[in-house]
């Protein structure tokens, strides 16, 4: 796996955060698997940075400490905790009023994929030179696409594409999307987590080609370079995880 975050070409601060974690002990690793999280903050320079940082750290902490048996339940509980923690911080610090963040997290346990998602960061599965988006955008334009008012190919250029309908820290309740039963993975599958600073200016075909043709670290560097060549109007963050053969002792 590999991850990379870049401020882009037009922003002063990087309000994105990302994290990869796995338990230190083999027994805990078998129970909990690997965790990868990305978040794209909003609410001003410091507010966005703080919200995304708080989200990825809270998801990791709560997933680890609150885990019982089910990765999906643990992910949803970690998102609820992050939502409450960001709201509590904003209430105690009025200067941070309006802070919030997208958050997309995945767990790989064996060959099963679990994920949780709020906002418009994305999780893709790349398999056999095809790319499939596993998350749906919680955005105004995302709703227009789902209702058939806007074509999917026009959504990335829509002037209101950045208006979110859900985010951690925003609203009283947060509805978390996820994979109820998990997704079975295969040898050679790739998983791509990315913020809208990447997917809004790089096509899904280009994402698939970069992931399929490169090792994860080279893929991250190539996609950040491509986004910057196209103006890099937003922060750019991604993680790539490649599924290899299962090892048996």
Average pLDDT of every residue of the chain:
90
Other C-beta atoms closer than 10 Å to the C-beta of 94 total: 7
Is 94 within the bounds of a domain? yes
Helices of type H across the chain: 26-32, 45-66, 71-92, 140-146, 152-155, 196-199, 204-213, 216-229
Check: CB of residue 187 under 8 Å from CB of residue 111. no
* Average pLDDT score over residue span 19-27: 96
Arithmetic mean of pLDDT, 148-152: 64
Closest CA to 122 of 161, 72, 173: 161
Q: What is the pLDDT of residue 249?
A: 41
pLDDT of 146 above 80:
no
| Measured distance CA(26)–CA(165) in Å, rounded | 40
Q: In whole angstroms, give the CA distance from residue 43 to residue 62.
A: 24
**Region 216-241 average pLDDT:** 97
Identify the CATH number of the domain in which residue 60 sits.
3.60.40.10
> Would 128 be classed as within a structural domain?
yes
In a domain, residue 180? The reply is yes
Asked, for residue 49, whether it belongs to a domain, the answer is yes
Domain coverage including residue 218: 2-242
Asked if residue 188 is part of any domain, the answer here is: yes
Residue 215 lies in a domain: yes
Lowest mean pLDDT among 57-66, 122-131, 138-147: 138-147
Read off the pLDDT band of 229 (50, 70, 90): very high
- Structural domain count of the chain: 1
Which pLDDT band, with edges at 50, 70 and 90, does 248 fall under? Answer: very low
Per-residue pLDDT reduced to its tens digit, 41-97:
997 768 999 999 999 999 999 999 999 889 999 999 999 999 999 999 999 998 898
Q: What is the pLDDT of residues 188-205, one digit of tens each?
A: 999 999 999 999 999 999
Residue 248 resides in a domain: no
- SS3 for 239? strand
Taking 80 as the threshold, does the pLDDT of residue 123 lie above it? yes
| Residue 171 falls inside a structural domain | yes
pLDDT of residue 98: 87
């Amino acid at each position: 796996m590999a991850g990379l975050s870049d401020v882009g070409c037009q922003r002063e601060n990087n309000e994105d955060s990302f994290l990869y974690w796995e338990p230190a002990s083999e027994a805990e690793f078998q129970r909990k698997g690997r965790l990868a999280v990305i978040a794209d903050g909003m609410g001003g320079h410091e507010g966005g940075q703080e919200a995304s940082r708080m989200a990825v750290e809270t998801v990791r902490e709560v997933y680890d400490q609150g885990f019982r048996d089910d990765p999906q339940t643990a992910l949803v509980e970690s998102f609820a905790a992050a939502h409450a923690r960001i709201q509590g911080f904003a209430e105690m610090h009025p200067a941070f009023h309006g802070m919030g963040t997208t958050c997309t997290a995945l767990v790989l346990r064996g060959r099963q994929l679990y994920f949780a998602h709020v906002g418009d960061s994305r999780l893709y599965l790349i398999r056999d030179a095809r790319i499939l988006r596993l998350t749906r955008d919680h955005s105004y334009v995302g709703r227009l696409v789902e209702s058939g008012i806007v074509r999917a190919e026009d959504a990335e250029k829509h002037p209101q594409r950045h208006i979110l309908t859900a985010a951690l820290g925003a609203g009283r309740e947060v509805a978390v999307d996820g994979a109820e039963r998990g997704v079975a993975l295969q040898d050679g599958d790739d998983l791509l987590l990315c913020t809208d600073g990447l997917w809004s200016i790089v096509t899904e075909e280009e994402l698939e080609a970069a992931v399929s043709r490169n090792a994860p670290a080279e893929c991250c560097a190539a996609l950040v370079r491509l986004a910057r060549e196209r103006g890099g109007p937003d922060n750019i963050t991604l993680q790539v995880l490649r599924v290899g053969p299962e090892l048996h002792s």
